[in-house]
Structure formats: C-alpha cells, structure tokens
Structure 1
C-alpha cells in the first residue's frame, strides 16, 4: 500500500457490521438502563473495538480486498455479525438455543484468529513483523480463554473476568513491542475517522428509533433537532481541525514514534470516544421517548438516573478522550473542552429535576457555545490548517503547527 492509500470498499462493508453491532449494544442497554448494564455495555464495546482495531492495522499493511485477505475479511465479517446477534446473551443466556456467552466468546476467538492468520501471511517476507505477530499471539489467546471461563460464571465474577480478559489483551499489546508496520498514515487516520462517523451515525439512529412508534409532534421535532445539534457539535469537535493536525503528526513521525502514535492516539484513545458516543446514544433515545410520551411518560417528565448519566457523562467522556488524544499527538491541552466536560458532570444533578427536553437543550447550548468559541478564538489558525496554506517551514516550535495568540493551536 502507498502512503496515499484510501479505505477500500470491503473495509467499509466490514464497518457496516459494526453499525449493526453498536445498535445492538445501545438497544440492549436501553432495555435495562442500570449501572451494571452500562458497565457490561462498555465491556462489550471494548471487545468489539479490539476486533475492529486489528483489521484497521491489517488493512493498512495490505489491501483488504485482494487475494486471501478478501476471503479472510468476509469470514471475519461473518464472525462479527454472529457475535453482534449474540450481544443480548453475551453475559446471560436466554432460554432455548445455543449457550449465548460461549457463542459470543467463540465468535471473538474466530475473528481474532483470522486476523492473526492473515497478518502471518502478509508478513511472510518480513521476519521482524512475524516475530511481532508471534509476541502478540499470547495476549489474544489469554483474552479468549478468560472470556470462555467467564461464560461459565455469572454476576460480578463474570464481569471481573471480562475486565481481566480485556486488560490482559491491552497490556499484552503494549508489552509485545512496536515492530508493527504502518504503510499509510492517511489511510490509518481515515479508517479511524470513519469509525467515529459510524458511532455518530448510531446516535442519529437512536434519535429516530426512540420515537419510531410515536405520532409526530412539535416536541418530537424540537427534540430531534436538538439531538442532531449535539451530534453535529461532536462531529465538529473531531473533524474540523484536530483530526487534520493529528494525521499530520502521524504522517511526519517515523519509526517507533509513529507506531506509538498510531497505537496510543488511534487504537487506544478512540475507544473511549466511541464508548462516550454510544452512551450518549442511549441518553438521546430515552429523551426522545420521554418527549414523545412513550412508556407512559409525559413532556414534563425529567430524565434522571442512568439515562441522564449516559447523556451527559457520555458526552464528557468523549470530550476528555478527545483532549487526551490531542495531548498524546501534539502535547497541546484543550482547556476549553476540559472545562466543558467538568461543567457537564457538575450540572448533571441539577438538570435531573427539569423536563427531559430542557435537559437536552442545555446540552446542545453548551456544546454549540464551545464550538462557536473555539471557531472564533482560533479562526486564523483554523483557516491555515483546513486550507493547507501555511508552509512547513513556518512550524518553528519543533514540529507543531503555528500557535494561536495564547500559544495554543486550534482545537
């Protein structure tokens, strides 16, 4: 693959299955919005993310729609799809049929095993990469075994075994080394940008599903517009400037630093962004249901408890993950986004007593104010970054883009 490679249609097809999987997670949590379901939902999202990440790296080294990789991608897609169908039974088996937790764990193993096998084939002429794949293998096996063990338990023991499986997998990845390959920084950044779009798309779907069976009304129209405003603000926060700056940093890095940036900024730090968006989706779905009068609710009813925590807390998590992403890539701190995240967490108890529509309006106003302030505050730098008319020689701070008036780049 060349440096300017783009995402292939087969990779986009693979991502479509993740749209379905994310929808299943949101629906499953919405059926029983408890703290336990939020924790378990986040664990399921992490498992799904870890399967997706492997193929993002694989598709960056070799074209995903050529030769044996095409066949392997279809097999992996089938594994993810069956796993997505099994999400409601990932922890607790439903009566009849196969034992759900085991099926989910087996699907995870199949998708990961195909990934390892395909990477081994791709690395046949690269001994260093093959050694890297071999060092990575134990963490994958350990994670799968722990998930299989977890399928035979229940309650918090089962949840803790899931946590152990995922921690082992992540720590194993960190400890296995940095001898991976990155053929195209633009492809890698585009791939992760598209998965953010997929997650944001789930938020839009949740807005529609929340009122699908209810008659249209002015409150529903207003709430839908506010929900789309929130989603648009999160899109703006990622794609307007920061994603471009991060991609530039990734492309300009070389050797081990580039691999560390790709792993830290994208493989690791995009996960909390996705989890935050899906938690937001849960909150949006409940708000629209309340506003539309579903489930014996009325327009004046407040949204509180877990759905409110998901709505505001998910947004705060997304913003904080975004701040960390930018810090890891460029060592620049987005103070405004930290402040907004803190404000959202602080006002959560206060908005629990006002109507759900007003709660959503407060969130939309805060996010629009943040985006508007950043756009105005860093207008000149934003123009330079988006239109590419600043010469590389003007980067006089050791590789970072020209700073704003207070020394900080646009967010």
Structure 2
C-alpha cells in the first residue's frame, strides 16, 4: 500500500534543491509524495490514447507506430521520475515547472491521434517542450548543488543534443521524420548509460524507485483492464466473448500479482549496472501490458464462430510474450530480502519458456478461437504464480 509522505508547506517562493541521497541517510523508507501521484494522473490519458491508436491499426505498421508513440510518453515520465528521485525542492518554482510538465504531457496526448501522420509535427514539438522543461530542472540542480554539477551538465548536454533531431523532424516529411525521431530517442536513452561514473556520486533510492515504477505499472494495468471492460461493453453477452474477457483479465491480474509481490519485497541496487537494465526493461513490460489489453479487446470483439485475424492473434501473443520476457529480466535485476529468493531461482527461466510458448502460439495458432488464445496466456501466468509462491516457500525453509 502506498503511503505518500507529507508535503512541506510552501512558505517561500523558492528554496534550493537538495540531494535526496543525503535525506535518504535519515529517511531510508522515503515514499512517493502527493505531488508525484498527481503528476502520474495525466499519464492515464496519454497511455489510453496510445492504446486506442493500436486498436485502430493492429497490423505490423500499426505496432511500429504504437512503439514510436509509446516511447516518448514513457521516457518523458522516466525523466521527471529519476530527477525527483535524486533531487528535492518541492517549492513553488518546482511545482510550477511540474505543472508545465503536466500540460506538456496533455499536449502530447492530444497529438497522439494520427501522431505519425498529420499530427506528427505537433507531437514532436510537445515532446521538445517536455525535454526543455526537464533541462530546466537539471539547470536548477546544477546551480545550487555543486556535487550534482558533473551529472547535471552531462544530462543537460545530452538531452539538448537529443532535441535537435526532434526539432528538425518538424520540417521534413515522412519517413525521414521517423529516422530523426529514432536518432533523438537513441541519444536520450544513451545519455544516462554514458553517465555511469557521474551517477555513482548521486545514487538513486533503492526503495523509492521501485515504488514509483510500481505506480506507473498500476496505470498501465488499469488501461489493460479498461480495454477488457470496453471490449465486453461493446458486445452482446455471448458466452465465448465473456470467457475470452475473463481469461484475459486473469492474465492481467496474475501479472499484476507477480509484479507487485516482487516490488514489495525487492530493491534495486542503485550503483550497479543492473539498476539501469531494470529501468530500461520496464519499457518492454509497459508496452507489452498496454498492447495485450488492446489485443484482448480485439479478440473479445470477434463474433462466435468467426476466425481470428492474423493481426489480432499476433498482437496479443507478441504482447504477452513481451510481458513474460521483460518480467524475467526484472526478476534477475532486483535484490530480494533474505528468505525471499531460493538459491536456485527457476522463475526467470520459466518466464522465458512462457514467452517462447506465446510466440509459438502466435506462429501456429491460426485455428485457435479467441478464448483459447487468452486462456493460454492466463494459464501460463497462473503457472508463474504457482512457481513464484513455491519458490518463496522453499526460500523460507532454506534461506541459505
């Protein structure tokens, strides 16, 4: 359960940002603030709109467009979340910058419809605005915290460089525009990876960061459930449609159970490379969960007796496979408390087998009805739950 910490009174227009790593020494169990939770709310709309675009075009080009739209949304959230994990000001200036970030995310969400078509220039400008605001956040840290200057300067330089392809994309046609987007995102993603020496002096919170990612995962799972509900609401109550919906909900519920149980009892070591792997692999989990909901809605909408289209089958199977594979990596890059992980942890291997199984079903399951597709994913997720709890029980008996 999330217990947001109390907000400090805004008795001054501005106060200097401080390092949360110093605060962490006195408050090791720092929780998300109400301001952070409020910031997350705007992403509900953005994720829903990206998912809607995928439902409208579940083909391979549509899936590529979905990825191209999802990554900027996710990375904009990552940028603010990582900054807030390291630095604390929470004054009027900080909150005003955060309010502008929220407006920027709203603008990004507005442009997502046909975001790779007529609205592509507007989407690029909205993303540029979000990155400029993040650079302003780091400029405040650079000004007031001498220890943060090496990292802040490197981030400001890298993120500023990444802006150039995005700005240039406004003035060029497709498909060259998308190549510039890819270049900009690549620079954005590589900047933290190339800054590990500077990050060592400013470690992230090993408990707060998993909590923040857990909250974003909750948003994505909410969109997955909303897609299932939307699929049922738009259909006559045929038994096969209801069964397809129930089994797709079972998959989402089991994945949520697995993920939140892991977050509850695990931490991320902030000074190891595995922490960066943990952060980046969440992209594939979030995309997979969102796409699985879109695929489930398409499967629910198929009338009884009609065949499943290859696009709908591949969308759901590839999305669930991505979820299983990403969670396997997440398990390998988190540190469990004593008695929580067996000496021989077979769960990552089982998750990879489940991922491969869903891909094989996507390859050869053209004759399967919708409820067997969602049922396969639900059954594989349920098996992971059984293995998860058996492993925990074994670890408690033999913690060595």
The residue aligned with 2:388 is 374
Normalising by structure 1, we get a TM-score of 0.81
Residue in structure 2 matching 1:360, options 354, 367, 374 = 374
Residue in structure 2 matching 1:238, options 259, 282, 285 = 259
The residue aligned with 2:341 is none
- Classify the secondary structure of the residue corresponding to 1:4: coil
Instruction: Report how far residue 339 of structure 1 moved.
Output: 1.0
The residue aligned with 1:264 is 277
Instruction: Report how far residue 262 of structure 1 moved.
Output: 3.6
Equivalent residues of 2:114, 2:120 under 8 A apart:
yes
Q: 1:115 to 1:287 in 2, by over 3 A?
A: same
The residue aligned with 1:397 is none
The residue aligned with 1:285 is 297
Q: How does 1:106-185 map to 2 (within 5 A)?
A: 106-180=125-199, 181-182=202-203, 184-185=205-206
- Classify the secondary structure of the residue corresponding to 2:30: coil
Q: 1:141 to 1:307 in 2, by over 3 A?
A: farther
- Cα-to-partner distance string for 1:73-130 (whole Å, 9 max, x where unaligned): 111000001101101232210xxxxxx2222112112211112212322343422312
The residue aligned with 1:325 is 330
- Classify the secondary structure of the residue corresponding to 2:368: coil
Q: 1:377 to 1:186 in 2, by over 3 A?
A: closer
The residue aligned with 1:191 is 212
The residue aligned with 1:53 is 78
Alignment length (residue pairs): 364
Instruction: Report how far residue 232 of structure 1 moved.
Output: 0.9
Instruction: Report how far residue 64 of structure 1 moved.
Output: 7.0
The residue aligned with 2:365 is 351
Instruction: Report how far residue 350 of structure 1 moved.
Output: 2.7
- Classify the secondary structure of the residue corresponding to 1:179: helix
- Classify the secondary structure of the residue corresponding to 1:89: coil
Residue in structure 2 matching 1:14, options 39, 46, 49 = 39
Instruction: Report how far residue 62 of structure 1 moved.
Output: 3.8
Q: 1:134 to 1:309 in 2, by over 3 A?
A: same
State yes or no: 1:342 paired with 2:356.
yes
How far apart are the structure 1 equivalents of 2:102 and 2:345? 37
Across the aligned residues of Structure 1 and Structure 2, the Cα RMSD in angstroms comes to 2.4
In structure 2, stretches of 5+ residues that fail to align are 1-22, 336-343
Equivalent residues of 1:277, 1:318 under 8 A apart:
yes
Equivalent residues of 2:321, 2:355 under 8 A apart:
yes
Instruction: Report how far residue 273 of structure 1 moved.
Output: 0.8
The residue aligned with 1:223 is 244
Equivalent residues of 1:105, 1:144 under 8 A apart:
no
Normalising by structure 2, we get a TM-score of 0.84
State yes or no: 1:311 paired with 2:336.
no
How far apart are the structure 2 equivalents of 1:150 and 1:276? 27
Q: 1:101 to 1:224 in 2, by over 3 A?
A: same
How far apart are the structure 1 equivalents of 2:108 and 2:214? 24
- Classify the secondary structure of the residue corresponding to 1:225: helix
How far apart are the structure 1 equivalents of 2:152 and 2:311? 41
Q: 1:155 to 1:105 in 2, by over 3 A?
A: closer
Residue in structure 1 matching 2:49, options 24, 30, 50 = 24
